[in-house]
């Protein structure tokens, strides 16, 4: 999940055929807190998220962490780099995953239709990643957090049962490491949005969007900046 992925791509990302039509795939269930794979492990399977949330991270040599992305239902994770996973992948909430062995893409017994579908998924990921990099470099803190909440609301609406409720299975530090901010900035920005009446925070993992059009405007840079929002509270 990248915060700038368009709505039409979100729906298209879930168009891989159902598992019962795939002889080369198996369903696996992982508990929250478990690890799916580590950076540098040999890639043997790709995974499509059916339910739950994953976290993809990389650790710098000095110990600093970057959250690369989150895996939500419909997303595919595990694309190889020189035959190896290029991130760690942890399970944030209990997850059900469809696992596709690489042998289903290779050799005479490979599934050409599956190969085509996964290629399209990889191309969508590259496009969304490029937009995400632009967001990291050009958007303000308020725009980043607003963008993140807008996409979470859309991606997690089926889980929450509401189009105006964003579930946050990740911690504030996860959000900060994903958006290139400090944990304090994320918490302060969420408080500003709450105090301004744009969102309500039911608990640490649930945000209700009270003014979705205002939040979307902020995500696009059409609203107040963080200092103006603070003065208005």
Instruction: Evaluate if residue 84 carries a pLDDT over 70.
Output: yes
Higher-pLDDT residue of 81 and 191 is 191
For 139-232, the fitting CATH number among 3.40.50.300, 1.20.140.10, 1.10.10.10, 1.10.490.10 is 1.10.10.10
Segment 17-65, tens digit of pLDDT: 544 444 467 899 999 999 999 999 999 999 999 999 999 999 988 888 9
Q: What's residue 71's pLDDT?
A: 93
Going by pLDDT thresholds of 50, 70 and 90, the confidence category of residue 162 is low
| pTM higher than the cut 0.85 | no
Q: What is the pLDDT of the chain when averaged over all its residues?
A: 83
Beta strand ranges found along the chain (DSSP E): 25-30, 35-37, 45-51, 54-59, 65-71, 76-77, 88-91, 95-101, 165-167, 199-203, 206-209
Instruction: Evaluate if residue 112 carries a pLDDT over 80.
Output: no
CATH architecture of 7-135: Sandwich (2.60)
Going by pLDDT thresholds of 50, 70 and 90, the confidence category of residue 183 is very high
Q: What's residue 93's pLDDT?
A: 94
Check if the beta carbon of residue 38 is closer than 8 Å to that of residue 88.
yes
Check if the beta carbon of residue 204 is closer than 8 Å to that of residue 191.
no
Instruction: Evaluate if residue 145 carries a pLDDT over 80.
Output: yes
Q: What's residue 192's pLDDT?
A: 95
Higher-pLDDT residue of 71 and 227 is 71
Q: What's residue 233's pLDDT?
A: 57
Q: Domains of the chain: which residue ranges?
A: 7-135, 139-232
Instruction: Evaluate if residue 94 carries a pLDDT over 80.
Output: yes
- CA count, 13 A, side-chain hemisphere, 124: 23
Q: What's residue 208's pLDDT?
A: 92
How many other CB atoms are there within 10 angstroms of residue 178's CB atom? 25
Instruction: Evaluate if residue 2 carries a pLDDT over 80.
Output: no
Going by pLDDT thresholds of 50, 70 and 90, the confidence category of residue 68 is very high
In the predicted model, what is the mean pLDDT of residues 147-158? 82
């Amino acid at each position: 999940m990248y915060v700038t992925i368009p709505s039409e791509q979100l729906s298209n990302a879930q168009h891989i055929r159902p598992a019962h039509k795939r002889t080369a795939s198996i369903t696996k269930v992982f508990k929250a807190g478990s690890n799916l794979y580590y950076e540098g492990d040999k890639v043997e399977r790709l995974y499509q998220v059916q339910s739950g949330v994953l976290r993809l991270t990389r650790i710098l040599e000095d110990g600093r962490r970057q959250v690369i992305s989150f895996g939500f239902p419909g997303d595919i994770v595990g694309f190889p780099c020189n035959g190896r996973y290029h991130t760690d992948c942890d399970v944030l909430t209990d997850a059900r995953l469809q696992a596709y062995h690489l042998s289903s893409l290779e050799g005479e017994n490979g599934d050409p239709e599956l190969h085509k579908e996964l290629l399209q998924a990889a191309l969508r990921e590259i496009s969304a990643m490029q937009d995400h990099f632009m967001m990291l470099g050009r958007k303000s803190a308020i725009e980043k957090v607003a963008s993140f909440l807008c996409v979470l609301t859309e991606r997690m609406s089926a889980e929450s049962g509401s189009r105006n409720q964003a579930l946050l299975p990740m911690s504030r530090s996860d959000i900060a490491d994903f958006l290139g901010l400090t944990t304090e900035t994320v918490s302060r920005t969420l408080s500003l949005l709450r105090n301004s009446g744009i969102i309500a925070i039911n608990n640490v993992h649930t945000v209700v969007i009270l003014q979705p059009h205002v939040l979307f405007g902020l995500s696009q840079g059409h609203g107040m900046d963080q200092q103006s929002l603070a003065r208005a509270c």
